[in-house]
């Protein structure tokens, strides 16, 4: 797509209504002043706060894009639903569900609190995601990370790389996640070597995607696991239904209730600045804008999802 400037207004007028709507969102929320780029992972602090990209993929394989939709950023917590779905299919639902809960925690994403069984509340918070990485490490050994990277690539329809600098930066500073890892091991949620599991988790969080990739990945979730561009069945419909359920109740952390009330679309955010939203049987949305609110959710991304839901009456209830 051409860069969005006043001179592209005439171009936009000749475009399909959905693309025009995305342009309107872009123009309306570009000046949004709120939020701050995450810097608790030092390398993330280098993101350009001006970047803003919106992409929407339909289930018949159209991908609409406005703004910085080809700028790579790290997937971070948006990896969690895909790795959860992969764990369900790889290890069996019984194994995964025996150690990871499905209740919202109401806590921030990095909370160290476990549930009454000393298990993670769900797979969307760090504790549950680290448990998923541990289960995949138990199943796949040293090949676990590449197994995850290839699977995420099938959701995106292309091979995905890792941002080595972000990986190294989180690995050097991620003591809270390490503490969660040891807490999981002492409670027998994971049985693996903790540094090896954290290495898988930090690497999976540093996988590079674009807003366009995110839209396609979300559309694959919305399409019962079939990538609408490649036609590949990436994971089972069982795994998709359970993953979207947990995204619905917990994908936006301690904002999840407000989100499902106001927007009504299963979604997942990442501190890299991405939001992915998957409306079953309808569409996938990916947005990128690195300024985050206090919950760790992209400020502009939330605005886009609210506007999309309201404009097209997409609230699922
Ligand atoms: O574990 C962390 O803190 C990061 N790698 C991911 C956190 C994250 O993306 C939370 N999302 N909004």
Q: What is the tens place of the pLDDT at every residue in 8-39?
A: 667 667 788 999 999 999 999 999 989 999 99
**Nearest protein CA to atom 11 of ligand 1, as residue:** 270
Asked if the structure places residue 243 within a domain, the reply is yes
Q: Judge whether 133 and 201 are in contact, CB under 8 Å.
A: yes
Range 36-59 average pLDDT: 97
Q: Residue 15: what pLDDT?
A: 82
Q: Is 201 annotated as a binding residue?
A: yes
Which residues are CB-neighbours of 232 under 8 A, at least 6 positions away?
A: 154, 226
Using a 10 angstrom Cβ sphere, with 0-12 exposed, 13-18 middle and 19 or more buried, the burial of residue 164 is exposed
Residue 111, marked binder: no
Q: How many domains does the chain have?
A: 1
**Best mutation site among 126, 199, 200 for ligand 1, i.e. most ligand atoms within 8 A of its Cβ?**
126
- Tell me if 270 is assigned to some domain: yes
Q: Is the CB of 77 under 6 A from ligand 1?
A: yes
Structural domain includes residue 15? no
Q: What is the CATH number of the domain that holds 120?
A: 3.40.710.10
In a domain, 256, yes or no: yes
Q: What is the pLDDT of residue 82?
A: 98
Ligand 1 atom 3: residue of nearest CA? 110
Q: Which residue has the tokens 């701050």?
A: 36
Distance CA 157, CA 132 (A): 23
- In a domain, residue 229? The reply is yes
Q: What does the mean pLDDT of the chain come to?
A: 96
DSSP string, 47-82: S-TT--EEEEEETTS-EEEEESTT--EE-GGGHHHH
Centre of ligand 1 to C-alpha 76, Å, is 5
Is the pLDDT at 6 greater than 80? The verdict is no
* pLDDT on residue 260: 96
| pLDDT value of residue 125 | 97
96 is in an annotated binding site: no
Please state whether beta strands 73-74 and 208-209 pair in parallel, antiparallel, or not at all (unpaired). Answer: antiparallel
| Angle, CA of 291, 295 and 83, to the nearest 5° | 90
Structural domain boundaries enclosing 301: 42-311
User: From the CA of 270, how far away is ligand 1's center (Å)?
Assistant: 6
Check if 269 has its Cβ closer than 6 Å to any atom of ligand 1: yes
How far does residue 276's CA lie from ligand 1's centre (Å)? 14
Give pLDDT tens digits for 68-88: 999 999 999 999 999 999 999
- CA–CA distances in Å: residue 299 to residues 74, 98, 193: 17, 35, 37
pLDDT by residue (tens digit) across 243-254?
Answer: 999 999 999 989
Is the model's pLDDT at 1 over the cut of 60?
no
4 is annotated as contributing to ligand binding: no
Q: 292 by DSSP, 3-state: which?
A: strand
**Any atom of ligand 1 within 6 Å of the Cβ of 270:** yes
**Predicted model pTM:** 0.96
182 annotated as a binding-site residue: no
109 close to ligand 1 (CB < 6 Angstrom): yes
CA of 206, closest atom in ligand 1: 5
253 among annotated binding-site residues: yes
Residue 271 beta carbon below 6 angstroms from any ligand 1 atom: yes
Q: Counting Cβ atoms within 10 Å, is residue 252 exposed (0-12), middle (13-18) or buried (19+)?
A: buried
Q: Is 97 labelled a binding residue?
A: no
Query: How does DSSP classify residue 189?
Result: S
Q: For ligand 1, is residue 214 a contact (CB within 6 Å)?
A: no
- Residues 144-197: tens digit of each pLDDT: 999 999 999 999 999 999 999 999 999 999 999 999 999 999 999 999 999 999
pLDDT on residue 166:
98
Lowest mean pLDDT segment, chosen from 2-6, 22-26, 27-31, 232-236: 2-6
Integer CA distances (angstroms), 216 to 108, 157, 227, in order: 27, 8, 7
Look up residue 48 and give its two tokens: 């350009």
H-type helices in 187-280, by residue range? 194-205, 211-222, 237-250, 256-262
Cα 145 from Cα 164, distance rounded (Å): 14
Q: What is the ipTM of this complex?
A: 0.99
The backbone torsions φ and ψ at residue 36, rounded to the nearest 5 degrees and listed phi first, read: -145, 145
Q: 177 C-alpha vs ligand 1 centroid, how far in Å?
A: 10
- Residue whose Cα lies nearest atom 4 of ligand 1: it is 76
Structural domain contains residue 55: yes
d(CA 305, CA 297): 12
CB atoms < 10 A from the CB of 204, how many? 26
In-domain check, residue 3:
no
Residue 129 domain-assigned (yes or no): yes
């Amino acid at each position: 797509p051409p860069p969005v400037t006043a001179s592209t207004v005439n171009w936009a007028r000749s475009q399909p209504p959905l693309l025009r709507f995305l342009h309107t969102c872009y123009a309306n929320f570009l000046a949004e002043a709120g939020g701050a780029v995450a810097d608790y992972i030092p390398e993330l602090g280098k993101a350009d706060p001006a970047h803003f990209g919106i992409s929407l993929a339909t289930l018949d394989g159209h991908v609409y894009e406005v703004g910085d939709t080809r700028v790579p950023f790290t997937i971070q917590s948006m990896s969690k639903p895909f790795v959860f779905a992969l764990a369900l299919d790889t290890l069996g639902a019984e194994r995964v569900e025996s150690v990871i809960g499905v209740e919202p925690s109401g806590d921030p994403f990095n909370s160290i609190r476990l549930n009454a069984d000393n298990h993670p509340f769900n797979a969307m918070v760090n504790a549950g995601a680290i448990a998923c990485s541990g289960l995949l490490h138990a199943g796949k050994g040293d090949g676990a990370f590449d197994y995850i990277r290839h699977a995420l690539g099938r959701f995106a329809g292309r091979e995905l790389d890792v941002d080595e600098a972000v990986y190294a930066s989180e690995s050097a500073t991620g003591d809270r996640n390490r503490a969660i890892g040891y807490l999981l091991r002492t409670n027998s949620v994971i049985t693996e070597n903790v540094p090896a599991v954290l290495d898988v988790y930090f690497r999976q969080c540093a996988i590079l995607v674009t807003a366009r990739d995110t839209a396609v990945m979300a559309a694959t979730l919305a399409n019962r696991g079939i990538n609408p561009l490649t036609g590949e069945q990436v994971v089972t419909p069982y795994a998709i239904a359970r993953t979207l359920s947990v995204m619905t109740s917990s994908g936006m952390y301690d904002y999840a209730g407000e989100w499902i009330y106001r927007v009504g679309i299963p979604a997942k955010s990442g501190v890299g600045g991405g939001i992915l939203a998957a409306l079953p049987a309808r569409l996938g949305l990916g947005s990128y804008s690195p300024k985050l609110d206090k919950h760790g959710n992209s400020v502009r991304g939330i605005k886009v999802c609210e506007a999309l839901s309201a404009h097209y009456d997409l609230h699922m209830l």
